[in-house]
Amino acid sequence: MSGDLFATSSAATRIAQLRDEIALHNHRYHVLDAPSISDSAFDALVRELQALEAEHPQLVTADSPTQRVGSPITGGFDEVRHDVPMLSLGNAFSDADAGEFFQRIADKLGRDDIAFSVEPKIDGLAISLLYVDGVLTRAATRGDGSTGEDVTHSVRTIPSVPLKLMGGDLPRVLEVRGEVYMPRAAFEAFNERARERRERTLANPRNAAAGSIRQLDPKVAASRPLAFFAYALGRIEPEATWTQHTDMLADFRGYGLPVCPEADRAVGLDGLLAYYRRIGERRDALPYDIDGVVYKVDDIAAQRELGFVSRAPRWAIAHKFPAREEQTVVEAIDVQVGRTGAITPVARLRPVQVAGVVVTNATLHNEHEVRRKDVRVGDTVIVRRAGDVIPEVVSVVLDQRPEGLVPFDMPTQCPECGSLLAREGDEAVLRCTGTGICPAQRKESIRHFASRRAMDIEGLGDAYIENLVDLGYVHHVADLYALTLDQLLEMKRRADERDGVVPETVKKGKVASRWAENLLAAIDASRKTSLPRLLFALGIRDVGESTAKTLARHFGALDRIASASEADLMTAPDVGPVVASRIAAFFAAPHQREVVDLLRARGVQWEEGEPLAAAGPLLGQTVVLTGTLSALTRDEAKEKLEALGAKVSGSVSAKTKFVVAGSEAGSKLDKARQLGIPVLDEAALLALFAEHGA
């Protein structure tokens, strides 16, 4: 018996060690973005803990990392009565509204040098987390503010929610309020996978978060990429000693609770509005959806003095951004043919302003999505626009559907060239099979070829591309380099006659030709390019800028890439079997090789040499650029770093080798300092380039 007791005691000690170690690594990975061990090493710790708990089930506790995904609950959700009501915020929709909010507080407090805790307003689901003796014991939704639903079973699955708080000086009871959300990139990736599998997509990140949490089976929430930010206090025992809201958030971070990295402090009305504009400018670049910013008086004693009105605090307000979802009517549904032949149904909309932009078209993605959402001409729909993403139809407002609307059917032939439409394998996307003859594919290929990050032919706009293809002057991208002034002027004359446009006035016997001369000069200037730009410009399916740069560094010359087998292509970093097959198929097509040969014959040049990846001094190193550089643009700095073998990333993590900080560097610089990552200023960067001849 004594041996059994000793074994159990040893197991209990090791289990406690493993739980603390796993919790620490979870915090470093999901909150700090600074992992200190490999995934395989982390998995080994979890497996050891699972094995020990299986041997000693009496030692399993609710705060164990192995208990994140439990069993489905039955009978719906239990009600949770909030000891401290979860109030909502008042809204400000303009600078004037924010000014009135500030003035009311200034008048009440008798001063105007008021400091505020400020943070983005995350577009997610409000959640209350109750910790007793540092252990998560309950999670509840806001509900009506007084009563919510117990969703502990789902919230426990969120990796960034600590099951046990960190630190030794913890309050006995701590109720934390915050927001469960789905990161934007994770949302887009989830929907892309769902579309490929022809499964139901999620409407938007906010609904995705709310719907995931309110599932009876926690495995549903566990399968979805959710995250959490803490931003407020519910209750605490013993009574808190914080005097500032920002101090409380700092302690939350110390407890292992994730707090939004954009949270800050601002003083006065000017400080509030400056923060609103700064976050608004960065809105599209943030990794999560926000619909405004929140202002909270920082002084907690002042919060108590200001008190509450109805169901909202007087000391806090949400300053909202323009809405990104609006309702409008579908006036028609057309299909567009993309560069790779992909057929995309597009809703033509009654014009509506969404997030400050007038939207007239919205993508319907593919045939499966049109059928799933059942979008019909005449429907009232909700349209969403986020960042640079093309506006999309989120859903149909079915209770506003007129009688007699007919379901939309996808065509069977390409509307541009009449070729049959077909799918590749299990793809949800229909494609035009008229590669090489379809004018729509030809136009999109030329647009892509001439774009700024490809060959950068300034002035070659959509109207010129349409006319060049429709009137037979350009059949593929190499034809751009054979155009003459006479051809361009003739094209303009023919297009004007076709469109019923009055020809430009002839002055002194000459037709205005400056536009054509400028266009020819831009085409000529593009003849000298780089191998990565040319590879990207060729429009090889699934070969974006990053892959093009990888191929150029790895192989060094176009002919090496064109003649490489799929196995050889996969020796390049991040090139898998699908991308390798796309590249091999592209260069195996006779008409594509002919275009490349014509580009060479017509004077397009690019530097080639030995593979740069073999000799790059920064090979395998991850670098982050932040702030503004004065001697060169960010794109130029990125190209030079990549030429030295570096991978330039948009976020700082423990894997970052160094950060280059220009003027007005922001949160990336702060994070680099927190993680102890070396920081180079612009002078040091230029010295590095000079040292290696970049």
Tokens of 356: 């400050």
According to the model, what pLDDT value does residue 310 have? 62
pLDDT level of residue 406 (50, 70, 90 thresholds): very high
pLDDT level of residue 680 (50, 70, 90 thresholds): very high
In whole angstroms, give the CA distance from residue 602 to residue 135: 71
According to the model, what pLDDT value does residue 1 have? 41
Give the alpha-carbon dihedral of 149, 150, 152, 158, to 10 degrees. 0
Is the model's pLDDT at 385 over the cut of 80?
Answer: no
In whole angstroms, give the CA distance from residue 204 to residue 212: 12
Q: Which residue has the higher pLDDT, 655 or 592?
A: 592
Catalytic residue among 108, 121, 443, 528: 121
Q: With residue 360 as reference, give the H or E element that holds it.
A: strand 357-363
Q: Which residues contact 392 (CB under 8 A, 6 or more apart)?
A: 362, 363, 364, 365, 383, 384, 385
Could you give the 3-state DSSP secondary structure of residue 420?
strand
According to the model, what pLDDT value does residue 669 have? 84
According to the model, what pLDDT value does residue 40 have? 53
Q: Which residues contact 115 (CB under 8 A, 6 or more apart)?
A: 244, 265, 266, 267, 297, 298, 299
Kindly report which listed range (347-356, 436-445, 485-494) carries the lowest average pLDDT score. Answer: 347-356
For the segment 364-391, the average pLDDT, to the nearest whole number, is 84
Is the model's pLDDT at 32 over the cut of 70?
Answer: no
Kindly report which listed range (121-135, 294-308, 504-518) carries the lowest average pLDDT score. Answer: 504-518
pLDDT level of residue 508 (50, 70, 90 thresholds): very low
Q: Which residues contact 391 (CB under 8 A, 6 or more apart)?
A: 354, 359, 361, 362, 363, 383, 384, 385
Quick: pLDDT tens for 62-78: 778 776 544 444 446 78
Q: Which residues contact 443 (CB under 8 A, 6 or more apart)?
A: 465, 466, 469
According to the model, what pLDDT value does residue 612 have? 53
Q: Where are the alpha helices (DSSP H) in 214-290?
A: 218-222, 245-254, 268-282
According to the model, what pLDDT value does residue 644 have? 82
According to the model, what pLDDT value does residue 135 have? 93
Above pLDDT 70, what percent of the chain? 91
Q: Which residues contact 291 (CB under 8 A, 6 or more apart)?
A: 121, 123, 320, 321, 323, 324
Q: Which domains does the chain have, with CATH numbers?
A: 2-67 (1.10.287.610), 90-320 (3.30.470.30), 325-422 (2.40.50.140), 439-526 (1.10.150.20), 529-613 (1.10.150.20), 616-691 (3.40.50.10190)
The mean predicted confidence, pLDDT, of the chain is: 86
Q: State the CB neighbour count (10 A cutoff) for residue 232.
A: 23
For residue 9, give Cα distances in angstroms to 4, 6, 20, 52, 647: 8, 5, 17, 12, 49
For the segment 171-196, the average pLDDT, to the nearest whole number, is 88
**Pair 176, 190: CB distance under 8 Å:** no
Is the model's pLDDT at 525 over the cut of 60?
Answer: yes
Q: Which residue has the higher pLDDT, 15 or 44?
A: 15
According to the model, what pLDDT value does residue 216 have? 67
Kindly report which listed range (16-30, 300-314, 633-647) carries the lowest average pLDDT score. Answer: 16-30
In whole angstroms, give the CA distance from residue 305 to residue 323: 33
Quick: pLDDT tens for 526-578: 999 999 999 999 999 999 888 898 899 889 999 999 999 999 998 887 788 99
Q: In angstroms, how far apart are the furthest CA atoms of the chain? A: 113
Q: Which residues contact 270 (CB under 8 A, 6 or more apart)?
A: none
For the segment 488-514, the average pLDDT, to the nearest whole number, is 77
User: Residue 121 catalytic?
Assistant: yes
In whole angstroms, give the CA distance from residue 672 to residue 652: 7
**Pair 379, 405: CB distance under 8 Å:** yes
Omega before 577 cis (within 30°)?
no
According to the model, what pLDDT value does residue 517 have? 94
**Pair 576, 551: CB distance under 8 Å:** no
Backbone angles phi, psi at 244, to 5 degrees: -125, 145
According to the model, what pLDDT value does residue 365 have? 87
Q: Which residues contact 423 (CB under 8 A, 6 or more apart)?
A: 429, 430, 431
According to the model, what pLDDT value does residue 5 have? 58
According to the model, what pLDDT value does residue 76 have? 62
Quick: pLDDT tens for 331-368: 999 999 999 999 999 999 999 988 767 899 999 988 88
For the segment 107-122, the average pLDDT, to the nearest whole number, is 94
Tokens of 495: 């297009």
Go through the chain and tell me how many residues it has.
694
In whole angstroms, give the CA distance from residue 366 to residue 429: 6
For the segment 302-320, the average pLDDT, to the nearest whole number, is 88
Is the model's pLDDT at 611 over the cut of 80?
Answer: no
